[in-house]
Amino acid sequence: MGMQISVAEMERTRVARFKGLTPTKRGFVDTAIPGYERLIYNVIGRGVTEDPTLDPAITDARDFNLTLVKKVPGNRVGLHDHPTIEVFMPLTGRWGVYWGDEGEHEVILEQWDVISVPPGVMRGFRNAGTEEAFLLAILGGSDSGHVTWSPKVLEAARQHGLQLDATGNVRAS
């Protein structure tokens, strides 16, 4: 017979209610750059967030982390990579996922489409639609490591008041 978990325990430790999630506007260093702003909701695990105060709703992140991203039309994310696979799926709207050292490749995803970006590939994404929209991001691994940012993104963020400290967390520059 399988492990038994009460409804109360499941609700307390393994259910994330959207209305109870607390997003951050400063989850990553690139959010200081105009046009790169977004809301980040850590649902399962900390993922690769650079905001040490952003706790996930569900802390048991074995083998993957799940985040929701909310952006206005045209806003993007700076080029970065991860040591693990990253999967994107638009929950609403249209999203462009771009990759390459200069972001020279891009596919447009419609609602429910999915892309899996392999480790080590510089990637970013943008709201390619006409309305504010949500994107689901899943990172592989129990510990997804830290983001590696394009040097251009780090310099632009520094010029707009944010940089990373020695532990990889965002701080004012």
CB 67 within 8 A of CB 125: no
Cα gap 97→132, rounded to integer Å: 16
Assess whether pLDDT exceeds 90 at residue 95: yes
Alpha-carbon span 45 to 79, nearest angstrom: 22
What would the pLDDT profile of 123-157 be if each residue is shown by its tens digit?
Answer: 999 999 999 999 999 999 877 888 999 999 999 99
d(CA 167, CA 67): 21
What pLDDT does 16 receive?
97
Task: Please give the model's pTM, rounded to 2 decimal places.
Answer: 0.93
For residue range 103-120, what is the model confidence (pLDDT) as tens digits? Answer: 999 999 999 999 999 999
DSSP labels for 160-172? TTEEE-TTS-EEE
Q: Find out whether 119 and 84 touch, Cβ atoms under 8 Å.
A: yes
Domain boundaries defined on the chain: 7-164
CATH match of 7-164 with 2.60.120.10: yes
